[in-house]
Structure formats: structure tokens, C-alpha cells
Amino acid sequence: MLLANINGAIIHSKTGSGVVDGNGVPFWIEFAADSSFARPTLVYITGGSNIVVENLYFKNAPNVFHSVTGGATDVVYRGLRLNAEVYDDVIPKNTDGFDVGASYVTISNVTVNNQDDCVAFKPNANYVTVTDITCTGSHGLSVGSLAKGSNDIVQNIYVDQATMIDSAKATGIKLYDGTSGHGVATVRNVTYNNIVVKNCDYAAQIQSCYGSTSTCAASNHTITDVYWSNISGTTSTKYDPVVANLNCPSLGTCNIHVSSFTAKAPSGKANVLCSAVDGTLGVTCSGAASG
């Protein structure tokens, strides 16, 4: 479904029982055999303004569920359920719930069950608010990935009241390294507040070497005014006793703050790994970060 340069559209179910089925299983199977196989986004918004998507159940997206980009503004997603579950051992890869690369976007009262980012704040995301969201099986609420081949900016992001279940990370930032050909990322004014962690591998993560398989070139990305507050719950056993891994860009700026961080590993410990953090973090770092 494509909405290109549309102003004033509403996509909704009057009864709240409407279903949009992307019939993604054949796409997942083909992609598992051939990773170059192109798959469509279920609902793609580019340009336009004053668009509302509400009160619907979306399932089996071939690829990303919802993408908004291309200078779109004032887009609202609310009262939605998104579901892409493993089918006969075939993983529905890249089924991001929301890829947001636009301005003045709100996401509220949403549940997502998928196999990639629950919400990804993509390049040019600006003034994005996410409230009352539950994500299961995802890669988390993620800024990025950024700076793969261009200079990217994400700013003015506010997340409040999120429950994160069985995720690779609950919250985080993903940046490519400083290898020639990669760009420079700017991330500023991002808040993760009132996040409940249930069996996620990390409660919080910053990756400055995203996509690197061996060596990681130093980068000069800028991360400023990023806040984690009221983070509670229990992580998985995967990295116990570590609950957060904050690997900031070694040649850049990393002005981040943590408060009321009570998430713990199953052992009861709550180690936080940190590298290249500027100033006072707000929690004690127990070792160097990586990734």
C-alpha cells in the first residue's frame, strides 16, 4: 500500500476489527533462500501530511510493516496491532514495525510482535513521539542504523511507557564505524522514559561498530542530550551480569545520561559497560563496552 504525497488521509477500521494481511510467508521463504530477493513494505508513506492510520490489525508483512519518509509530516499511528511470527521455522526477517524517517510523527497504543526493530528512528526522524507500546521478539526501540553511506541526523525523539519483551535490546542506538565510505551521524535530544524490560538481552545499548564483523574503525559521530530514565525489569541470561552496553564513538561526542535505572540481570546484578562517555553518566561503569 503506497501513499505518495497525499494530504489528509485516514486509514482505519470503524469497528476496530479490520485486518490487513500482507501474506508474507512466501516472501520470507524466498528471502531465506536468496537474500537479494526484494520484498515490499506493507504500508509505505512518502511525502504528504495529516495522515492517520488507526484501529487495525496488520499481520504477515513481507518486509517492513510501516515506513514513513520523503518529507512527510504530521502522521499518526494509533490503536494498532502488528504481528509477524515464525512460520515452519522460517524467520520473518526485516519485519520492522515502524521505520520513521519523517517529522512530527506519533505512535501510540500499539502492540508489535516481530523479528526486527519494533520502532526504528531512521535518518531525518525529527519530533517523533512513541507512547504506550508493547514490543515482543524485536530488536528493540532503535535509533538507526545511521551513517552507513551518508551523513545522517536523528533528533527530538521521545519514548514513554514501553514494555519490551524477549528483545535483543530494549532500547538503543546503532551507528556504523568510521571506515572510509561511511558517513557521520548526529543524534540529539532523545529520551527513553518508563521502559519495562522483560527478558531482553540488554536494557540499553549503543553500537558504534554496527555492521562490523572484525575490526572497527574509530568514528567521530555526535551523540548529545540522550536520556534513559525509569528503566526497570529483568534482562535475559545472555549477558548476565551485564544489563547495558554503551559503546560511544571514540573520536566523537557522547553526552548521555542515565537515571532511575533499576533493571537487573537474573543474577540480581546490574553491570553497565561503557566506553568513551563524556561527563557524568549517572550510573557506575563496570568495564569497557564493545560492539
With left for phi above 0 and alpha for psi between -120 and 50, is residue 135 left, alpha or beta? beta
Half-sphere exposure of 46 (CA within 13 A, CB side): 6
Listed in sequence order, the residues at least 6 apart from 81 whose beta carbon sits closer than 8 Å to its beta carbon are 56, 57, 58, 110, 111, 112
**Best CA proximity match to 205, nearest among 168, 232, 244, 233:** 244
Residues marked active site are found at 116, 139
DSSP string, 230-281: EEEEEE-STTTTEEEEEE--TTSEEEEEEEEE--B-TTS--EEEEES--S--
